[in-house]
Structure 1
């Protein structure tokens, strides 16, 4: 029987569920939020009360046994993504998984294999693919506006933006700035480059500022968690090489003694180039250099990207179409992320 709606169970009652995912599901015509699970059931109940969601669960197996639910959104910490995804797929639920896919390539491979064996939708919540700027630039790339993209630069530079709670613990998060914010810019830029096959990574990571940080500027925290162990990297740089000869340089930081730069991505092609945030096209016309800033009529904010992401996931669940950010892409991004860590640890370039 074809599903007429994506009837979702939210797994994890943390910040991304409350601030972004549930509001986006609530405005999606092809989706219905049926339940929220959190191992602290009072947190699940609080979100249910806030958003008018019928069911709160304190045991994951109870949510997965709910026949009214046909899909789940995994909004938990990184280290639990694999076990939850495998359980959800085994229960016959389609899966939307928050970034990163996992904390290791081996975990991501198992998740991809399980989704394929069950014939279920597995979509990565790579929200920056759904920014209006990304949609525009991707369309221009597909039209050949840039020619071959041979290099790109991306990053997310926070001056003082270390999230609190489990984010800083390697055992609880699997990684620091690379897994937290690096995944956003690496995926977005790689996607806009046309998803070339990565072949090697050279990376370095740093932890020099550590637990010292100016308070109240991080903008993100783990719900119910207190500051504690800090053994994750707070900054990293990398060079990723691709099979087609292209390259991608990456710089990310939670904390750095330098200028706040925020998120950025820049593409360099044979015919033209682009920056993504904001969208600017750099070209040449009639012998003159041109900087074109497209007028983006549609909403381009962060939450609007979440709404487009959720609408796409619901369409995939209802129609059975393949997501634009499926398990294969999640696995490829995971290879690049873990390649940075492996290279930094071994002090050499890593073949992927």
Structure 2
């Protein structure tokens, strides 16, 4: 493609700035419009980032009337659904920030609309672009573990609670489960080829977020800051999921894959109150197996790199648009991620196991 790809950005909050940085590093891309429902916010964003050729809108539907190739949707979670549908129906490819949606029904309709219109719906899970995530996927799918029958994933921050739009159910839809839990689910499920979930039994709470001792916006906090679940999948596979924004503990443990021939342990990288979850880099990978009857532990060497995984995510999306390739992380696949989140939220509210209907 000789001409520059024309991109619009819908939603001008913090994550939109990361999209601007990534697009600017690509010489064949031009940001031509920004929209935000808060009056003048998009104009301020355009000025702040010095987007000299971009128009600012207070209504994203006006942005969608422009001749654009694609849009980045960086809105609060509750707006993902309608904004994505409108963008796809307007003939734009979509780069959507995670989580995909608030409910399973929304995610299904979003994926179906992408299929009907023929436009791409790509969901932004940038940790996939860490080459060490690919090592995990290769090891799990190589057969070296034998049949994988149990997976444990998630993670916990000792103190890592966001504020603002993240803690209000009417805007975010959910808390830690959707915000950082979706990353842990994607890491584990992608490694296994995204098996189909069948049932969920879950629990969630928000003891820390609603306590003024731990959160300055406690009176506004009405999402969960902790969640656990047991998920059953096709193929006689179970997954133990656990996630926390805050806790009196140093860790909720690594991600583990138990197989009939070997096991794999993966720890997240980072130190401090906001670390301990898989929204960043991999810390270590260890395989547990038997060699000539002896219990053996093999440390899997990590790939040292300076890749900006967010940039890699955006570049991959741009190349898919330019070369008319399928979505790198297709919405139709991430529906299963959203189905589990939806099931966890339903189960924890009903205090019983629930079925997942796909």
TM interval, short-chain normalised: 0.7 to 0.9
Residue of structure 1 equivalent to 2:63:
63
Name the stretch that deviates more: 32-41 or 198-207.
32-41
Secondary structure at 1:278 match in 2: strand
Distance 1:71 1:259 in 2: 42
Name the stretch that deviates more: 69-78 or 206-215.
206-215
Distance 1:4 1:288 in 2: 58
1:282 correspondence with 2:281:
no
Match of 2:26 among 11, 25, 28: 28
Distance 2:241 2:3 in 1: 41
The structural deviation recorded for 1:31 is: 3.4
The structural deviation recorded for 1:281 is: 3.1
Segments of structure 2 that go 5 or more residues without pairing to the other structure are 267-281
1:173-252 correspondence runs (5 A): 173-209=172-208, 210-214=210-214, 228-252=219-243
Match of 1:306 among 290, 300, 310: 310
Distance 1:248 1:109 in 2: 22
Name the stretch that deviates more: 81-90 or 279-288.
279-288
Contact 1:121 1:320 in 2 (8 A): no
Residue of structure 2 equivalent to 1:76:
75
The structural deviation recorded for 1:253 is: 1.2
Contact 2:202 2:227 in 1 (8 A): yes
1:246-261 correspondence runs (5 A): 246-259=237-250
Distance 1:264 1:35 in 2: 42
Per the normalisation by structure 1, the TM-score is: 0.87
Residue of structure 2 equivalent to 1:152:
151
Contact 1:103 1:175 in 2 (8 A): yes
The structural deviation recorded for 1:26 is: 1.8
Secondary structure at 2:122 match in 1: strand
Contact 2:287 2:300 in 1 (8 A): no
Secondary structure at 1:339 match in 2: helix
The structural deviation recorded for 1:213 is: 4.9
**Cα distance change of structure 1 residues 266 and 324 upon mapping to structure 2, 3 Å threshold:** farther
Segments of structure 1 that go 5 or more residues without pairing to the other structure are 217-225
Residue of structure 1 equivalent to 2:263:
273
Distance 2:10 2:218 in 1: 23
**Cα distance change of structure 1 residues 109 and 161 upon mapping to structure 2, 3 Å threshold:** same
1:129 correspondence with 2:120:
no
Number of aligned residue pairs: 336
The structural deviation recorded for 1:46 is: 3.5
Q: Which one scores higher on RCO, CA 8 angstroms, separation ≥ 6?
A: 1
Contact 1:160 1:213 in 2 (8 A): no
Distance 1:333 1:30 in 2: 32
Contact 2:138 2:191 in 1 (8 A): no
The structural deviation recorded for 1:86 is: 1.0
Residue of structure 2 equivalent to 1:171:
170
